[in-house]
Amino acid sequence: MADTASPPRQPRWRRRAQARPEEILDAALSEFTARGFDAARMEDIAKRAGLSKAAIYLYFPSKVAVLKALIEAKVSPLARQAQALAAAGAGDPLGALRTIAAVAAHLLQNAELIAVPRLVIGLSGRFPEIAEYYRTHVVEIARAALSSLIEAASAQGAIRNANKDAVVRAFIGPLIFEALWTHVLQGESALRDPEKMIEHHFDVLLKGLEVRA
Amino acid sequence: MADTASPPRQPRWRRRAQARPEEILDAALSEFTARGFDAARMEDIAKRAGLSKAAIYLYFPSKVAVLKALIEAKVSPLARQAQALAAAGAGDPLGALRTIAAVAAHLLQNAELIAVPRLVIGLSGRFPEIAEYYRTHVVEIARAALSSLIEAASAQGAIRNANKDAVVRAFIGPLIFEALWTHVLQGESALRDPEKMIEHHFDVLLKGLEVRA
DNA sequence: TGCTATTAACTGACCGGTCAGTTATATAAT
DNA sequence: ATTATATAACTGACCGGTCAGTTAATAGCA
C-alpha cells in the first residue's frame, strides 16, 4: 500500500557490462594495495566496485586472473610511455635521460603507482608467470629504451664510454631505492622535492665522486 | 605380542626446548620464501622443523609472531655486520666502501638472503610495525654506516663533496636493483660475476659519465 | 505506442575446502 | 610423582567459487 503510487523508482542495479571490467580492476588495485593479494577479499573488491561478488566472475574467471589483468592494464601504458620518451629524445639523448628521470621522480611520489611492482615482488615466488610478464613487458622494455639512449649519448660524444648495463643500473637503481624507502619503509623521503633529487642524482651520475685535478 | 621383546626402542619424540625456536624459524623462512606469508601453512612449517603444528604454539603465540621473530633473528646480524665493516674501515673509507660493495654483491647471489626483505615489501601495507622495524633496525643503520664512510672519505679528500644522501643512493641503489632483477624477475644476472659488476659499479660511481677534458 | 518474449546482466544464498589456533591426552625427563 | 614437552584430533571461522533464480534492457510484434 505504502508506495504503490511512486512509479519512477530507480532500478536496484543497472546493466553496465561495458564499464565493469575497468571498475573491477580499479577496486582490485585498491584492495590489493591495502591488504596484499591473499588478504584481499573478492567480496570487498566487489563492494568497492559497486556490484556483487558473483558478478566479478562474469568478467574474470578467478582471483589470479583479476590480478593478471590488473597488471597488464596498469603496466603496459608505462612501458609504452618509456619507449615513446626514448624515441622522441634520440636527438638529445642526455636531455631525454634527464627528462625521463624527472618524470619518473614525479610519478614515484604516487603510492598507488608502485603498488603493482610491490605485488609482483611479493608474488613472484608463487606465480612465476607474473614475474616473467613483468620482466618482459615492463622492465626489459624500459631497460632497452634507456640502453638505446645511453648508446646514442655515447656515440655522439655526450658521455664517455662505460659499461652500458652498469650505467643503466646507476640510472635506475637510486630511483627504485628511494621509492622503496619512501613507500615501503615509510622513511622521510627525498621524493618530496623531485627536482632537487634529480639534480643531485645527475650531479653524481655525471661528475662521479673522484676529485678532479 | 610381536615386539614386546625389543626394549631399546627409541622414543617417539624428544624434549628439545632449547633447540626448537631456531629450527622453527629456519623452517618458517623456507616456507615463507617459497609460498609467501599467507600461503605458507603452519602445518608445513612444523613438518619441516620436525615437530607438530601444536608444538609451534608452545614457542610462538601466533603465525605473525613467528614472522616477526624471524625477521628479528635474520636481520640483526646484518645490521651489526654493516656497522662493524664501517667502523673497521674508518681509516681507509673508500677502500671500506669497495669492500662492503664486494661483500654485498657476493651475498646478494644467495636467494634466501633477500627473502626477508621481499617478505617485508609484500607485508608492509598490512603490518606497518614490521616495515618500521626493518627500517630502524636495518636500513637506517646501514645508511648511517655508509654515510659515515662517505663523510670520512670526503673529509680526507678521497672523494669530492657531493650530496651525501644522493651518494648513498648511488651506492646502494644499483645493487638493490640488480638483486630484484635477478631474484624476483629471474633475469639474466650480472651478479654471476660479482667482481666485474663491482668494478663497473665503481667505475661509474667514481668517474661519472662526463667526458673529461 | 504499448504489450510480450527473450536474453544479458546481476544477485543472494550457499557449499566445499582450508587452515590458524585449541584441547585433551600422552610421553619423556627429573 | 610431578612437570615440561609433545602430539593427534578437533573446532570455528573464513573465503573462493558456484548456482538457481531475479531483474533490467531490448527486440519483435500487434
Give B16-33 pLDDT, tens digit per residue. 877 789 999 999 999 999
Nearest chain B alpha carbon to A203: B162
- What pLDDT, on the 0 to 100 scale, is given for residue A136? 94
Q: What's the average model confidence in pLDDT over A83-96? A: 93
Interface test with A, best of B94, B163, B209 (most A CBs within 10 A): B209
Q: Determine the residue type at B180.
A: L
Question: B64 at the A interface (CB within 8 A)?
Answer: no
Nearest to A143 by CA among A152, A135, A133: A135
Quote the CA–CA distance of A16 and A35 in Å, as a whole number: 28
What confidence category does residue B5 fall into, taking pLDDT thresholds of 50, 70 and 90? Answer: very low
Question: A44 at the B interface (CB within 8 A)?
Answer: no
- What pLDDT, on the 0 to 100 scale, is given for residue B51? 94
What Cα–Cα distance (Å) separates residue A184 from each residue in A106, A119, A188, A196, B40? 17, 12, 11, 22, 22
Nearest chain A alpha carbon to B135: A185
Q: Are A182 and A110 in contact (CB under 8 A)?
A: no
Interface test with B, best of A37, A63, A129, A185 (most B CBs within 10 A): A185
Lowest mean pLDDT among A61-65, B4-8, B88-92: B4-8
For chain B, give percent helix, strand, coil, nearest 5: 70, 0, 30
Question: A162 at the B interface (CB within 8 A)?
Answer: yes
Quote the CA–CA distance of A48 and B43 in Å, as a whole number: 34
Q: What is the DSSP string of B16-36?
A: -TTTHHHHHHHHHHHHHHHH-
Question: B159 at the A interface (CB within 8 A)?
Answer: yes
The C-alpha cell that represents A47 in the structure block: 563492494
Of B131, B165, B172, Cβ closest to residue A185: B131
A66 Cβ contact partners less than 8 Å away, ≥ 6 residues apart? A24, A25, A28, A45, A56, A60
Of A158, A173, A204, Cβ closest to residue B176: A173
The C-alpha cell that represents A202 in the structure block: 645527475
Contacts of B123 in chain A (CB under 8 A): 36, 122
Model's pTM, two decimal places?
Answer: 0.89
Q: Are B109 and A167 in contact (CB under 8 A)?
A: no
Give tens-digit pLDDT for A187-206.
999 999 999 999 999 999 99
Nearest to B181 by CA among A83, A110, A165, A105: A165
Which run of H or of E encompasses B129? helix B128-134
CB contact under 8 A, B132 and A35: no
Q: Which residue has the cell 667502523?
A: B87
Chain C bases closer than 7 A to any CB of the protein = 8-13, 18-24, 27-29
Give tens-digit pLDDT for B161-201.
999 999 999 999 999 999 999 999 999 999 999 999 999 99
Question: A161 at the B interface (CB within 8 A)?
Answer: no
DSSP 8-state symbol, A209: S
Lowest mean pLDDT among A8-22, A31-45, B41-55, B101-115: A8-22
Nearest to B161 by CA among B153, B169, B172: B153
